[in-house]
């Protein structure tokens, strides 16, 4: 009697253990670090402004290559060259926003996943336009009065340049990403890529003025793998 009652109990216990194991999240770590400039000394590049000065100002510093005092590069795009095997890639639920403030795109670089939407906003009290340069996605050239939101869906992975034809210094980049493992560096060149299972990866770093560099990274058992990527040496 004992054995016939014990076997189903044992099976039930195994089933519980099995379900706990399958529910346990896969180990995942973060790659955290910074993109750092190691090229020749940079000179301040000022852009004179002679239109719409009441909103845009009289001159501004170029944003093509913004390097902090700690040599960190802002607005570099860091990504895994390919997503970890088995990584889930869900379509983005919320549009990404890109505003125009004081005749500058804000932020200068956004990441949107394939099939995601960018809502272009115009917070300035004047007319801008959105003129894209792309090869995989349809190009667009839209005038944008103040307050109007222009949503655009991006269906193919590529990096797209957007300029304003009215204010020649205005430039933005839309990085259409194939997977979620992309990040834009912050003001001190810092970035973080999360939810990465242990393994070997190639990190790709792109910056509009400096091009692309790659770096092999091994993610081990630790929670965080630190990486510093240098770029800019001529």
The helix (H) or strand (E) run that includes residue 142 is: strand 141-144
Of 6-14, 147-155, 166-174, 212-220: span binding Cu ion (CB under 5 A): 166-174
What is the sign of the dihedral through the CA atoms of 203, 206, 207 and 210?
positive
**In angstroms, what is the minimal distance from the CB of 147 to Cu ion?**
14
Segment 112 to 141, residues that bind Cu ion, using CB under 5 A:
128
Kindly determine how many residues on this chain lie close enough to bind Cu ion according to the rule CB under 5 A.
5
Q: Are 95 and 117 in contact (CB under 8 A)?
A: yes
Interaction of residue 171 with Cu ion, rule CB under 5 A: no
The β-bridge relationship of strands 199-207 and 46-48 is unpaired
Figure out which of the listed residues 28, 87, 153, 166 binds Cu ion, where binding follows CB under 5 A. 166
Smallest separation (angstroms) from Cu ion to the CB of 171:
10
- Are 106 and 138 in contact, with CB atoms under 8 Å apart? no
Q: Which is nearer to Cu ion, 31 or 170 (CB)?
A: 170
Tell me whether residue 71 or residue 146 sits nearer to Cu ion (CB atom): 146
Q: Among residues 76 and 103, whose Cβ is nearest to Cu ion?
A: 103
In whole angstroms, how close is the CB of 199 to Cu ion at the nearest point?
44
**With 0-12 CB in 10 A as exposed, 13-18 as middle and 19+ as buried, what is 64?**
middle
CB atoms within 10 A of CB 106: 14
Phi, psi of 16, deg, nearest 5: -65, -45
Query: Which lies closer to Cu ion via its Cβ, residue 102 or residue 211?
Result: 102
What is the closest distance, in whole angstroms, from the C-beta atom of residue 36 to Cu ion in the complex?
Answer: 32
At closest approach, how far in Å is the CB of 127 from Cu ion?
Answer: 7
- x-marked contacts with Cu ion along 145-164 as a string, rule CB under 5 A: -------------------x
Smallest Cα–Cα separation from 81: which of 219, 216, 174? 216
Nearest CB to Cu ion, comparing residues 54 and 218: 54
Q: Kindly tell me which of 170 and 231 has the beta carbon lying closer to Cu ion.
A: 170
Strands, E assignment, 20-140: 29-37, 46-48, 59-61, 77-80, 96-100, 105-106, 109-113, 116-120, 128-133
> Which one of residues 74, 108, 167, 171 is an interface residue with Cu ion (CB under 5 A)?
167
Residues that bind Cu ion (CB under 5 A): 128, 164, 166-167, 170
């Amino acid at each position: 009697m004992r054995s016939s009652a014990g076997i189903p109990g044992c099976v039930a216990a195994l089933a519980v253990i099995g379900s706990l194991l399958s529910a346990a999240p896969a180990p995942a770590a973060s790659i955290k670090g910074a993109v750092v400039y190691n090229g020749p000394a940079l000179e301040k590049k000022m852009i004179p402004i002679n239109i719409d000065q009441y909103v845009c100002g009289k001159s501004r510093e170029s944003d093509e290559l913004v390097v902090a005092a700690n040599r960190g590069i802002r607005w570099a795009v860091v990504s895994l060259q390919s997503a970890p095997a088995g990584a889930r890639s869900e379509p983005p639920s919320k549009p990404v926003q890109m505003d125009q403030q004081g005749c500058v795109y804000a932020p200068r670089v956004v990441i949107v996943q394939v099939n995601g939407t960018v809502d272009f906003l115009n917070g300035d009290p004047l007319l801008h336009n959105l003129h894209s340069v792309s090869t995989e996605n349809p190009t667009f050239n839209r005038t944008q009065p103040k307050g109007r939101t222009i949503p655009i869906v991006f269906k193919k992975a590529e990096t797209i340049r957007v300029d304003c034809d009215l204010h020649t210094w205005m430039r933005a980049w839309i990085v259409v990403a194939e997977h979620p493992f992309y990040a834009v560096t912050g003001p001190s060149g810092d970035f973080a890529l999360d939810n990465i299972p242990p393994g070997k990866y190639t990190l790709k770093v792109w910056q509009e003025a400096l091009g692309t560099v790659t770096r092999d990274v091994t993610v081990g058992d630790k929670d965080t793998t630190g990486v510093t990527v240098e770029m800019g040496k001529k």
